């Protein structure tokens, strides 16, 4: 399903991980998110009959002859707002407004894009959306029943319930109305979290059934409900209705200065930057693993900032979060004005002198080229339009699906997708990836450590990685940790922290979706 009917909103999945070793101890296991729905009975339908019923209801797709324009009333994060959709064939542009906060996302000619709440526009590959596409294909393929099964009927909803779980797809349960063939409920697992979306009051739009009320609740209690106010067909379609909006400049450089050295010091291997907010000076981590700019509630209180909305986030554990607008943030000679920030309690105390009160994440990295050389205690910001790739540096492609720099790297004998995380001082790989890469024989200790991240702790086991390769640069016999924890997003095999990143000199250039690296000189 596409457009407004999907009931799905890509949430920022990662607030950032600061990983530090702690004493051993027990960590509670996460509740299973992939249990079958309850209240089902044996079905009176066959899987083939359910598929045929669904296909009859969805025999048509939206054309490019008209632009479908929808206005919805939105309830999200305890706030009332609006949700607008323009859809032209398979192209779509969605605008969400909640109080003074607005963001947009869409698809244009197959390219996924987003403009976040600070007006930064970026494109991304659509890694998570590919899971949904694979599952939809598996469900609608009448000749393949390997990953699709009819598990029963829901008497309460008069629906047949189909489980779909193809390799690399989305594990989901589809409730198909036994009269109309419309999808009236969808339960699915994303990042070890269970989501339930209901679809009500279907109406035909260009012959395509579309719901007029969509409600999604996740297992943390976050809720999003949208109710249709109006739906119109514009018979004079214009590509401007679905075009990608221009990006706003967020990081302001001093006049006639294209590179600014940041006021940074390195504590326990982590870059700590001095940031001025209002009349206060605070320590922020320069954190590529954070999906935005994050401030601690103490900053909000001291600067008398207003907050908007409330929701529950999760990384290694769950935590409450809200949103604030910072009138001005100064980092050395740089300024950021009217900055939308996430407000989350930051529990990291690196030493007696350093109290981390914020994270300089995605919005900073996206609007300036960030140059980092940990071995030389160097961090600087470069105006993107004046930056040129260093001639002796390798280019590593970056995917920004989760507003963090995901890259492909090789560890041991396996290739994997990892995040380059300057806000983590330890490298952590998923257990399954370590097994694929044949790390197990190299493990040097049976004791368990803990790593700390937003919302909690996770157990980890120290591991020796025989070889690690990024951008053609090899590191031998590196130490890392292995954990089966939720690292903040799905589709990740690990997080590369500053213990390995200090091997490189790096230039993060999100404008070109690349990070340029070379071997750091000692």
Burial environment of residue 157 by CB neighbours within 10 A (0 to 12, 13 to 18, 19 or more): middle
Q: Would you say 5 and 122 are in contact if contact means Cβ atoms under 8 Å apart?
A: no
**Strand, coil or helix: 56:** helix
Q: What is the pLDDT of residue 416?
A: 96
Residue ranges of alpha helices (H) inside 337-406 are 362-367
Cα 433 from Cα 194, distance rounded (Å): 24
Whether residues 209 and 307 fall in one domain: no
| 505, two tokens | 């000199």
Q: What is the pLDDT of residue 453?
A: 63
Cα 313 from Cα 113, distance rounded (Å): 23
pLDDT < 50 regions, the chain? 1-31, 441-443
Q: What is the pTM of this model?
A: 0.90
If we measure between CA atoms, which residue out of 477, 437, 403, 445 comes closest to residue 21?
Answer: 445
Residues 6 or more apart from 444 whose CB is under 8 A from it? 462, 463, 464
Q: Would you say 4 and 106 are in contact if contact means Cβ atoms under 8 Å apart?
A: no
If we measure between CA atoms, which residue out of 28, 12, 13, 21 comes closest to residue 424?
Answer: 21
β-pairing verdict for 504-509 and 514-519: antiparallel
Query: Rounded to whole angstroms, what are the CA distances from 419 to 67, 291, 410, 423, 449?
Result: 38, 12, 13, 11, 21
Last residue of one domain, picked from the residues 206, 241, 276:
241
| Length of the chain in terms of residues written | 522
Instruction: State the maximum Cα–Cα separation within the chain, in Å, rounded to a whole number.
Output: 74
| 154, two tokens | 């829901």
Whether residues 333 and 356 fall in one domain: yes
Last residue of one domain, picked from the residues 214, 241, 268:
241
Q: What is the pLDDT of residue 64?
A: 79
β-pairing verdict for 213-218 and 223-234: antiparallel
Q: Please state the domain count of the chain.
A: 3
Q: What is the pLDDT of residue 441?
A: 38
Instruction: Give domain status of residue 18, yes or no.
Output: no
Instruction: Give domain status of residue 16, yes or no.
Output: no
Q: What is the pLDDT of residue 447?
A: 59
Q: How many Cβ atoms from other residues are within 10 Å of residue 286's Cβ?
A: 25
Host domain of residue 85: 40-241
Last residue of one domain, picked from the residues 241, 268, 293:
241
Whether residues 63 and 206 fall in one domain: yes
Classify residue 33 by its DSSP letter: S
Burial environment of residue 39 by CB neighbours within 10 A (0 to 12, 13 to 18, 19 or more): exposed
Whether residues 352 and 430 fall in one domain: no
Rounded to a whole number of angstroms, the CA Rg of the chain reads 24
Instruction: Give domain status of residue 28, yes or no.
Output: no
Whether residues 98 and 157 fall in one domain: yes
Instruction: Give domain status of residue 493, yes or no.
Output: yes
Q: What is the pLDDT of residue 494?
A: 93
CATH number for the domain including 227? 2.50.20.10
Residues 6 or more apart from 238 whose CB is under 8 A from it? 67
Cα 437 from Cα 80, distance rounded (Å): 48
Residues 6 or more apart from 388 whose CB is under 8 A from it? none
Classify residue 244 by its DSSP letter: P
Whether residues 347 and 377 fall in one domain: yes
β-pairing verdict for 307-314 and 318-331: antiparallel
Q: What is the pLDDT of residue 461?
A: 84
């Amino acid at each position: 399903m596409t457009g407004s009917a999907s009931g799905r909103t890509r949430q920022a999945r990662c607030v950032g991980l600061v990983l530090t070793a702690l004493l051993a101890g027990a960590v509670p296991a996460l509740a299973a998110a992939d249990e079958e729905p309850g209240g089902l009975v044996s079905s009176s339908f066959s899987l083939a009959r359910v598929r045929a019923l669904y296909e009859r209801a969805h025999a048509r797709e939206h054309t490019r002859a008209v632009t479908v324009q929808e206005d919805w009333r939105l309830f999200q994060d305890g706030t009332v707002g609006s949700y607008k959709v323009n859809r032209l064939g398979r192209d779509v542009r969605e605008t969400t407004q909640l109080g003074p906060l607005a963001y947009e996302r869409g698809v244009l000619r197959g390219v996924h894009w987003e403009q976040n709440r600070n007006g930064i526009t970026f494109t991304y590959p659509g890694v998570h959306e590919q899971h949904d596409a694979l599952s939809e294909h598996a469900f609608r393929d009448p000749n393949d029943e390997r990953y699709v099964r009819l598990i029963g009927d829901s008497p309460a909803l008069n629906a047949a319930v189909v489980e779909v779980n193809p390799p690399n797809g989305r594990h989901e349960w589809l409730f198909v109305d036994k009269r109309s063939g419309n999808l009236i409920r969808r339960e699915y697992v994303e990042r070890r979290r269970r989501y339930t979306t209901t679809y009500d009051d279907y109406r035909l739009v260009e012959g395509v059934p579309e719901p007029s009320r969509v409600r999604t609740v996740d297992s943390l209690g976050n809720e999003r409900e949208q109710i249709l106010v109006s739906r119109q067909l514009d018979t004079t379609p214009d590509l401007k209705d679905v075009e990608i909006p221009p990006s706003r400049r967020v990081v302001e450089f001093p006049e006639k200065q294209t590179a600014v050295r940041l006021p940074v010091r390195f504590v326990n291997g982590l870059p700590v930057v001095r940031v001025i907010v209002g009349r206060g000076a605070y320590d922020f981590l320069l954190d590529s693993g954070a999906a935005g700019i994050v401030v601690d509630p103490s900053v909000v209180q001291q600067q008398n900032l207003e907050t908007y909305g409330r929701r529950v986030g999760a990384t290694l554990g769950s935590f409450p979060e809200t949103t604030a607008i910072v009138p001005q943030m100064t980092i050395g000679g740089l300024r950021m004005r009217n900055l939308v920030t996430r407000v989350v309690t930051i529990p990291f105390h690196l030493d007696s002198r350093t109290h981390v009160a914020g994270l300089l994440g995605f919005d900073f990295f996206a609007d300036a080229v960030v140059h980092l050389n940990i071995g030389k205690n160097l961090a600087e910001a470069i105006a993107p339009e004046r930056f040129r790739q260093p001639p002796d540096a390798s280019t590593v492609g970056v995917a920004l699906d989760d507003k963090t720099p995901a890259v492909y790297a090789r560890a041991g004998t396996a290739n994997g997708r990892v995040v380059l995380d300057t806000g983590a001082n330890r490298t952590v790989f998923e257990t399954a990836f370590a097994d694929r890469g044949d790390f197990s024989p190299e493990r040097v200790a049976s004791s368990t450590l803990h790593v700390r991240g937003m919302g909690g702790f996770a157990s980890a086991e120290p591991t020796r990685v025989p070889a690690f390769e990024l951008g053609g640069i090899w590191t031998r016999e590196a130490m890392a940790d292995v954990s089966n924890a939720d690292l903040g997003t799905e589709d990740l095999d690990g997080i590369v922290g500053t213990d390995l990143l200090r091997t490189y000199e790096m230039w993060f250039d999100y404008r070109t979706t690349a990070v340029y690296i070379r071997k750091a000189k000692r």
